[in-house]
Chain A
Amino acid sequence: MHQVFKRPVSLKDVQTHFCPGCHHGTIHRLVAEALDEFGLQQETIGIASIGCSVFLYYYFDIDVIETPHGRAPAVATGVKRARPDRFVFTYQGDGDLAAIGTAEIIHAANRGEHISVVFVNNTTYGMTGGQMAPTTLLGQRTSTSPTGRKPEVEGFPIRMAELLSGLDGVAFSARAAVNTPKNLMDAKKQIKKAFRYQGEGKGFSFVEVLAACPTNWGMNAIEANERVGREMCEYFKLGTFKNTAGL
């Protein structure tokens, strides 16, 4: 018998702390598969963020630097400039990237740093208790918007992939989801494409991946997974927003 599906080498064989049905585990695996496929395990420096994605160094069998809240793109800038021969990617959630680290991500992107960013958008602050994030959908109840997000009070959800695609420094920007096998295959392709951009020295690449947070959404895993397709994919359209090299 031949094993056709196995754990990627870049992903350690350990139990994760993620809740049942959390898409972080899936996205971790897709990133690890991409690293394996390009043979990057030995030359990668991952940049972890704050949030549920904080334990990158426990789960990936690569070198990882843990950074303060939202500062992953700034640290990645330094790492990549000091060691341009290394493959450098950040892995950040929406509270980290779209709120706390807005300045860092926008300026790193605008400078066209040769890094890749994996942005996991689950419309809430997962680790700290489900507070409202800039990506929280209108009407969504969170611990800090208990009656639902209202545009006149809290503004509108930020579409980061589209926003960054407007910057000249960005070479690749796309959004994917992992809620269905089809979307998951597309997400794998988009992550690989983003990594190729860096590998071929073509500039800053950004992939947003829509994810479920069953615990903070107050749903079970199946309901949360369905919500990604029903509500999130409606507002956060999947697709490629910028692909300057046409990869």
Chain B
Amino acid sequence: MPRIEIDELRCKGCALCTIACPKKLIAMSEQINNLGYRPAVFEGTEVQCTGCALCAEMCPDVAIKVFKEQ
């Protein structure tokens, strides 16, 4: 199943990935990261994520990795 990995230590909480996700599977955390921002967190399930990588494309900090089965 496709999945994404968000590097919470790199995320600056701009939330551009949340508007890029066609399925709205990303939300902002309530926790503060080491940079002082509320990082993005993946809230969907692997079944919902299609691995389209639009979130990663939009992320200005290249903090998202996208994995898919071959």
List the interface of chain A (C-beta within 8 A of B): 1-7, 11, 15-16, 18-26, 29, 178, 181, 184-185, 214, 220-222, 225
Contact = CB atoms under 8 A, between A and B. Distances in A.
Interface string B20-59: 1000000000000001010000000000000101101111
A4 B14 CA distance: 23
Nearest to B19: A222
A20 B20 contact: no
Nearest to A221: B14
Contacts of B12: 19-21
Contacts of B68: 1-2, 4
A6 B7 CA distance: 12
A22 B16 CA distance: 10
B14 A3 contact: no
A3 B60 contact: no
Contact of B60 (A4, A5, A25, A181): A25
A21 B58 CA distance: 10
Nearest to B35: A15
Nearest to A22: B60
Given A6-B65, A222-B16, A15 B10 contact: yes
A181 B37 contact: no
Taking chain A's interface residues, is the majority helix, strand, or loop, or is none over half, making it mixed?
Answer: mixed
A24 B57 contact: no
Contacts of A16: 61
Contacts of A19: 12
Nearest to B51: A4
A19 B16 CA distance: 13
B26 to A, nearest CB: 13
6 contacts: A3-B67, A15-B61, A18-B60, A19-B12, A25-B59, A25-B60
A5 B64 contact: yes
B62 A221 contact: no
B65 A3 contact: yes
B3 to A, nearest CB: 8
Contacts of B58: 26, 178, 181, 184
A170 B16 CA distance: 35
A1 B62 contact: no
B16 A21 contact: yes
